[in-house]
Structure 1
Amino acid sequence: MRRQELLRVRGRSVAWVPPLLLLVAIAVADYHTIGEFRMISWIVLVPAIAASICGVWGTALFAVLSLVTYVVADSAWPHEHRSGRADFVLVALGGILATLACAIRVRDENRALHMSDVTDTVRRTVLRPLPPGWGGLDHAGVYLTADARVGGDLYDIQPGPHGTRVLVGDVQGKGLPAVEAAAALLGTFREAAYHEAELVTVAERLETRMIRHRGHTVALGRSDGDLPQVLDFARTGGTPTATDVLLGFPDDEREAVDVLLFGHEPPLAVGPDGVRTLSAAAGPPQVRRWRVAAAETLLLVTDGVTEARDGTGAFYPLAHEVTRAVAEDPGTAEPARLAAFVRDGTLRHGGGRLGDDTTVFAVRRRPGGEAPEGGRLRS
């Protein structure tokens, strides 16, 4: 969060309060000190505190106030020991350095906020907003970055003539190469998921797009083009460029979902009766159809959740925690609440730190199955 937002009360900045209170406290304490022990030279701390929480002009103002207060306090009581010129220089120099430090801090903060805005813009461009009920599904998604660099986690919903398809994936790497790969996958998914009748054909289209993308990166001389693709990963057990899970919600079966996994964690079906794993079939990647009750939500997460560690190195027990939460309150299975619960649990387990980008996506059919206008497209 921005420091300015943290130091506001009812919309007004209160960043000036701590250094002002410190200024008054030091002046009062100095009045009550006697002999050669004088507190007034401690006033050099005031602009230092202001530099950490105020703006440049606010810090400069406290530097001047500190210097004026020093001069007044040091000369107001002739019978007391005077700190003298040396401490005057100390307070003046401290104010100047504090103002310079504040200017550097504000510049770096503005640069960080700018980069954060750029990252958010890139993510919004790649991960388009999903309208409520899109494709006849209730959904909730959470994306958290592990650092300032944008990552390659992705998710999307695409309604079409052959049902609604869902994609959740994790592209290897960080920064623009990962964003490029994610954008390539999402663009292909949105077209293939609409036009192709078979879910496995959608996956093949994604694989073809990644092979083409790899050829482009190799031509550019980038090392991210040397990694095998998702289908290669499933066959060889190598390191994939991207891991994906595809879900298909057929129109002809209300309580069915097709699952196709490529190196990704299998989804969890979370409902009032508990939690179960919708694992893939053994052998080469193939579509597996599962029966899913109307009250069950499908939970999909990326490595940021499953590989989150606590101080002892233990992984986050996702299935156990979700099972416990649903047993205590069946309403936790609702998509928005479930996504928020996993997000909070992951952050709490990792002590507020993320080892990898984290995506949590929860989805289930809307009651009644009707999508809002535009959410169920037909040829």
Structure 2
Amino acid sequence: MSGRGRTPVGGRAVRLLPPGSVTDRGDGRPQILRVRGRSVAWVPPLVLLIAIVVIDYNTAREFRIISWLVLVPGISAAICGVWTTAGFAVLATLTYLVGDSVLPNEYQAGPADFMLSAIGGTLATLACAVRVRAERRGTHLADVTETIRRTMLRPLPPGWGGLDHAAVYLTADEQAEVGGDFYDIQPGPHGTRVLVGDVQGKGLSAVEAAAALLSTFREAGYHEADLATVAERLEIRMVRHVAHVNALGREDADRFATAVLLNFPVNDPDTLESVVFGHDPPLIVGADGVRQLPPGDALPLGLAALTGTTAPPPVLRTPLAAGETVLLTTDGVTEARDGDDVFYPLATEVTRAVAADPRIAEPARLVAFVRDGTLRHCGGVLADDTTVFALRRRPGPTGPPRS
């Protein structure tokens, strides 16, 4: 898999780390050379120190490598903590004094190499302090980024809002945790609302716009009885956000967002309500096949003024049978290209897979299938942030959601 992402586990979106990656141990330093939870990073410099002493002792007097002890704190500085490195700096210097003094005067390295060992140990300790400080700063920044990610793409409990769900989120930038793609489920007294979207452009300004839309969705999606009103609130929020950015004089003010807004009505389990804001329409996947939701005629969020009307977009009502899964993706999926510049045929591939195995329609299986197919099609190189989100009503009455 390319980059960091999310994979469906128990209905939640969880972060993936590449195999063999270094993880934080909680004190600002990564876990390097640990066995059963205990650090053994001190072993390599200690082994090097012993090896230098043994080799120096068992070779001819003209072949002196005792001054190589300066390498010991240098190795420690790269993988150990500050106090451990300082200890090796002192130990290496003392070992040099003892090792050099046991030889006759004509074979002793002398004070010059002693100064080399002492100064080398001091510099290694200082370098280790700089490295550890940088690691702690990196860990802090990673925590901030993780907090932003969890605020935007908050963890969704299994069965949230009466829906079985699974999500995969892959960023085109390996170092990024979040991008312009966003999704959420908001249960409420009027039904369970779902929002998936993609802010135009990249960078932190796209994340900022996505956060603005999500905050509005979480409030309006809960309180507003009419899905058209929720859609109108999202449009107004995008326009306000753009106006605010314009007032600040920023160059990234011209933003819009494609999105899909869904509602699973409380009292009508056989119907799905939707508003598609210039986004790829969702697919409805079931054991009997695959069909696409109507695209509607709503423009992307932030561009409604181009229609010359202030009326909210119409809400489309689509039959939704029990056991059917709604599949939503961003253009990171549909615009993924292979070596021949051919787009990933999402609907065709899903149709073929469901025909071969109807269990693919289950949310977790479906999301994993689309994720793997997209990465395989583009050779693991994502040109854009990629979101795959699948939802299915849980069987049986759920009642009005309260959260």
Structure 2 length-normalised TM = 0.71
For residue 253 of structure 2, give the secondary structure of its aligned residue in structure 1.
Answer: helix
Quote how far apart the aligned CAs of 1:190 are: 2.5
**Aligned equivalents of 1:125 and 1:49: distance in 2?**
40
Which has the larger displacement, 126-135 or 210-219? 126-135
Which has the larger displacement, 44-53 or 104-113? 44-53
Residues 1:283 and 1:187: Cα distance change in structure 2 (over 3 Å):
closer
Superposition CA RMSD, Å: 4.0
Match of 2:251 in 1: 223
Residues 1:6 and 1:314: Cα distance change in structure 2 (over 3 Å):
farther
Give 1:59's aligned amino acid: T
Stretches of structure 2 that go unaligned for 5 or more consecutive residues are: 1-22, 300-313
**Aligned equivalents of 1:81 and 1:309: distance in 2?**
69
Quote how far apart the aligned CAs of 1:167 are: 0.4
Equivalences for 1:305-344 in 2 at 5 Å? 319=346, 334-336=362-364
Which has the larger displacement, 343-352 or 141-150? 343-352
Please state if 1:188 is matched with 2:216: yes
Match of 2:12 in 1: none
**Aligned equivalents of 1:99 and 1:350: distance in 2?**
46
Contact 2:326 2:392 in 1 (8 A): yes
Instruction: Select the structure that is richer in helix.
Output: 1
Match of 1:163 in 2: 191
Match of 1:247 in 2: 262
Match of 2:149 in 1: 123
Contact 1:266 1:277 in 2 (8 A): no
Quote how far apart the aligned CAs of 1:137 are: 0.8
Quote how far apart the aligned CAs of 1:354 are: 6.8
Which has the larger displacement, 292-301 or 133-142? 292-301
- Residues 193-241 of structure 1, C-alpha deviations (whole Å, 9 max, x = no match): 33445544432321111111211221121223233xxxxxxxxxxxxx3
Match of 1:92 in 2: 118
**Aligned equivalents of 2:264 and 2:239: distance in 1?**
27
Quote how far apart the aligned CAs of 1:31 are: 3.0
**Aligned equivalents of 2:163 and 2:176: distance in 1?**
32
- Residues 326-370 of structure 1, C-alpha deviations (whole Å, 9 max, x = no match): 789876654456556766887899898876555443322123242
Which residue of 360, 378, 392 corresponds with 1:364? 392
Match of 2:52 in 1: 26
Structure 1 length-normalised TM = 0.75
Quote how far apart the aligned CAs of 1:84 are: 3.8
Residues 1:44 and 1:301: Cα distance change in structure 2 (over 3 Å):
farther
The sequence identity of aligned pairs, in percent, is: 65
Stretches of structure 1 that go unaligned for 5 or more consecutive residues are: 228-240
Residues 1:283 and 1:98: Cα distance change in structure 2 (over 3 Å):
same
Contact 1:260 1:280 in 2 (8 A): no
Equivalences for 1:208-219 in 2 at 5 Å? 208-219=236-247
Give 1:246's aligned amino acid: L
Match of 1:238 in 2: none
Match of 2:310 in 1: none
Give 1:36's aligned amino acid: E
The size of the alignment, in residue pairs, is 359
- Residues 1-38 of structure 1, C-alpha deviations (whole Å, 9 max, x = no match): 22533433333222212222222233333333335333
**Aligned equivalents of 2:266 and 2:236: distance in 1?**
27
Residues 1:328 and 1:74: Cα distance change in structure 2 (over 3 Å):
farther
Contact 1:136 1:370 in 2 (8 A): yes
Quote how far apart the aligned CAs of 1:111 are: 1.2
Match of 1:51 in 2: 77
For residue 367 of structure 1, give the secondary structure of its aligned residue in structure 2.
Answer: coil
Match of 2:203 in 1: 174
Contact 1:67 1:92 in 2 (8 A): yes
Residues 1:104 and 1:298: Cα distance change in structure 2 (over 3 Å):
farther
**Aligned equivalents of 2:366 and 2:379: distance in 1?**
20
**Aligned equivalents of 2:265 and 2:335: distance in 1?**
32
Which residue of 257, 266, 271 corresponds with 2:272? 257
Quote how far apart the aligned CAs of 1:112 are: 1.4
Whose relative contact order is higher, 1 or 2, with alpha carbons under 8 Å and at least 6 apart?
2
Which residue of 41, 59, 62 corresponds with 1:36? 62
Residues 1:122 and 1:78: Cα distance change in structure 2 (over 3 Å):
same
**Aligned equivalents of 2:36 and 2:377: distance in 1?**
33
Give 1:174's aligned amino acid: G
Contact 1:281 1:288 in 2 (8 A): no
